[in-house]
Structure 1
Amino acid sequence: MSNKATLIRIAEAAGVSISTVDRVVNSRGGVSPDTEAKVLEWATRLNLDRRLFRSHLRTLRVAVMMQSPHNPFFEALRDAFSDLNLTMADLRITSFVHYIDVNDFAGTSRKIEQVAAGYDGLIVTCPNDPKISEALRRVSRKIPIVTLVTDLPDSGRIAYVGSNNRQTGRVAGELMGRFLGGEGGDILLVLGLQRMAGHEEREMGFRSVLRERFPSCRIVAALESGENRERAGQVVLDALREYPGIRGIYNVSAGNSAIVQAIGSLGLTHKIVLITHELTEARRQMLLDGALDAVIDQNPRLEAQRALEVLGRNFQRGESGTTGGEYTPFQIFIRENCPTISY
């Protein structure tokens, strides 16, 4: 479409002359603020040749609220948003990361409302708690919200972006059942935080596959690490002492290095199947060493990008209401196919 045809469509929609649109586009002045705003609004609503209006559009500010980057996945997610501020500049959205304490539900709910007051949109990775969902619903009446990595369906969010956590849990269950074979055995399940909907969904998927296809596999305990690496190692050490017949561990979240150390301290290295999520450099090495058996990996950069794109469409087209889920792909890595470079 030619520039002239673009200007004509905007002029007709905004109820102004072509010359008025031309003055707005070329910053010639002589147009009232209200009329200029109407022209820019229709340019955005019609989604027409944004290059003409790029210099006029305000850069929107989006807050990203997630847990501390002490967790390697969230470190990668933080870095992804930082990089995308540069590589997706045409979207005219700048993201700002704010950290929350995932174990402090009341503090998180207060922080959500405090932070959101200064932004045009919100991307959140939060525990599934009624107070947090209530705070997000209040915020959603003013600005759009996208849930990332773990969903909060009752939060008023416009979309969830991330992997299908129930499916990844089922994949973990399938891998565990096949690795243990017909003999099966006792399995330990380690959750980061059960109040994280994504962790709960992984657990449900894992349990359902074992129940359906691998009845000889028995989950003897499901423990929480509180997203604390040291605690993950300790709860596994205690469980291995209490249940010496454990043959498999599914760790839903962080703390794999500490878990491997706990296994090794009891002389059980290479005797227990360990399956987890998110490929980091340390976990890649553990795969190569045989300390880890499989890693189900999602792409934090792609998830950050998709979340920003969902908000971008919402801002540009004035969409309202939920848009459903934007499931992102995941990969399975074992020793034989783990890449030399991870995120």
Structure 2
Amino acid sequence: MTHRFPLKEIARQSGLSPATIDRAINGRVHVSPQTKARVTAAIAELEGQEAQLSARGRRLFFDFVIEAPDRFSREIKRAAEDVLPRIGIAVCRLRFVMHEIMNEADVLQVLARIAKRGSHGVCLKTRDIPAVRAAVDELAASGIPVITLVTDLTATRRIAYVGLDNQSAGRTAAYLISKTVGDVTGTVLTSRSNDQFLGEEEREVAFKLTLKELCPKLRIVDVSSEGAVLHNKSSILHGAVDHLRAVYSMGGGNHTILNALAQNGLKPDIFIAHDLDKDNRALLKAGRLNFVLHHDLGVDLENVFHAFLYHHKLTQDPLMTAISNVQVVTPQNVPAEKVRL
């Protein structure tokens, strides 16, 4: 494994010990494939960020801990890396821990490792549960600022929430359904990726309240299940749906949802999803999604770094607006993908 970085620098980037880095790089025994992958990723991140080393200023390390589908995690990582060249007042290095599913123990272990090695800021997208909230407060008490991204953590000492106005998004979904199908009888299916993501809960509550007001005849049926949407829900899909008017997918897994509906001979009049990632772009262009509720992750990540820099007194301007307004994307107005040069 070739590299040109000191072992201590790779260790700091990866969160592993210098001894472990030495064993992995020199091909010694008792090094797991996962550890080798972390070392390789750390070296790649250092190489990608090396261009900034000529910049003057303080060197800062920021950690991103993201529980999300790979498609969305990749969008976050890309947006964060695209913002870096525009930060001229400091040399910023990013460390990522991204998994589709992270249980409580996984998150706590990662946050404990960050607390031990130190960090200039942690950007966190994870479940809103007591143990994680306590860990965030411990990071804050040790002087490490935490920002929540897309989904918030209640009653914590995090310095900011950055992301979509989730309640507005839920109300927008209800409004679109009301204007598309009208005040008729029928069923609306809702789906969340996880009951413990506060952002999705806020979307759902606002959606149900607004839809009840606008379309009181519609019946809402939830078909969520952690990690695998619509599995073991055939009894709901087969026979229990009198007339499928709409689907509101708050968390993803839209290929799976659409395939499950097709297998049960169901086609909604309208399908609303979240986030303009690669998968949803394809589904929009194919006409399988009608609306995507989107917000600009690039702006979100600019706000994340702005809040961190202000915390460290590297900028005098506080973050004024951290909440993103919802954008309604249809097959007719899909914005062009940003191409990396």
Q: 2:65, 2:124 within 8 Å by CA — same for their partners in 1?
A: yes
* 2:145 aligned residue: 144
* 2:171 aligned residue: 170
Distance in 2, matches of 1:120 and 1:127, equals 22
Q: What one-letter code is carried by the residue in structure 2 that aligns with 1:210?
A: L
Within the alignment, does 1:253 sit opposite 2:260 as a pair? no
SS in structure 2 of the partner of residue 94 of structure 1: strand
* 1:161 aligned residue: 162
Distance in 1, matches of 2:235 and 2:168, equals 29
Q: 1:66, 1:74 within 8 Å by CA — same for their partners in 2?
A: yes
Distance in 2, matches of 1:140 and 1:153, equals 14
Distance 1:304 1:282, change over 3 A: same
4+ residue runs over 4 A deviation: 100-103, 235-238, 322-325
1:173-214 C-alpha deviation (Å, 9 max, x unpaired):
111222221214211111111100001000011011112222
* 1:280 aligned residue: 277
SS in structure 1 of the partner of residue 79 of structure 2: helix
* 2:26 aligned residue: none
Distance in 1, matches of 2:113 and 2:186, equals 49
Distance in 1, matches of 2:170 and 2:308, equals 28
* 2:110 aligned residue: 111
Q: What one-letter code is carried by the residue in structure 2 that aligns with 1:181?
A: G
What displacement does 1:63 show? 0.7
Supply the RMSD in Å over aligned alpha carbons: 2.5
Q: What one-letter code is carried by the residue in structure 1 that aligns with 2:193?
A: G
What displacement does 1:305 show? 1.5
What displacement does 1:89 show? 4.5
* 1:131 aligned residue: 131
What residue ranges of structure 1 are gaps of 5+ in the alignment? 1-53
Larger Rg over CA atoms? 1
Distance in 2, matches of 1:236 and 1:170, equals 26
* 1:292 aligned residue: 289
Q: Give the TM-score taking structure 1 as reference length.
A: 0.75
Distance in 1, matches of 2:190 and 2:246, equals 9
1:297-329 C-alpha deviation (Å, 9 max, x unpaired):
11222211210111111111699xx97961023
SS in structure 2 of the partner of residue 224 of structure 1: coil
What residue ranges of structure 2 are gaps of 5+ in the alignment? 1-54
Number of aligned residue pairs: give it.
Answer: 281
Distance in 2, matches of 1:104 and 1:169, equals 26
Distance in 2, matches of 1:326 and 1:191, equals 24
Distance 1:137 1:170, change over 3 A: same
Identity across matched positions, percent: 23
* Range that drifts further, 234-243 or 136-145: 234-243
Distance 1:154 1:242, change over 3 A: farther
SS in structure 2 of the partner of residue 76 of structure 1: helix
Distance in 2, matches of 1:69 and 1:127, equals 14
What displacement does 1:82 show? 2.3
* 2:329 aligned residue: 333
* 2:311 aligned residue: 314
SS in structure 2 of the partner of residue 187 of structure 1: strand
Q: What one-letter code is carried by the residue in structure 2 that aligns with 1:332?
A: V
* 1:74 aligned residue: 73
1:3-62 C-alpha deviation (Å, 9 max, x unpaired):
xxxxxxxxxxxxxxxxxxxxxxxxxxxxxxxxxxxxxxxxxxxxxxxxxxx73x421111
What displacement does 1:279 show? 1.3
Specify which structure has the higher proportion of helix.
Answer: 1
Distance in 1, matches of 2:69 and 2:191, equals 20
Q: What one-letter code is carried by the residue in structure 1 that aligns with 2:308?
A: L
Distance 1:318 1:75, change over 3 A: closer
Distance in 2, matches of 1:238 and 1:66, equals 33
What displacement does 1:294 show? 0.9
Q: Give the TM-score taking structure 2 as reference length.
A: 0.75
Distance in 2, matches of 1:108 and 1:242, equals 40
Within the alignment, does 1:194 sit opposite 2:195 as a pair? yes
Distance in 2, matches of 1:102 and 1:281, equals 20
Q: 1:250, 1:276 within 8 Å by CA — same for their partners in 2?
A: yes
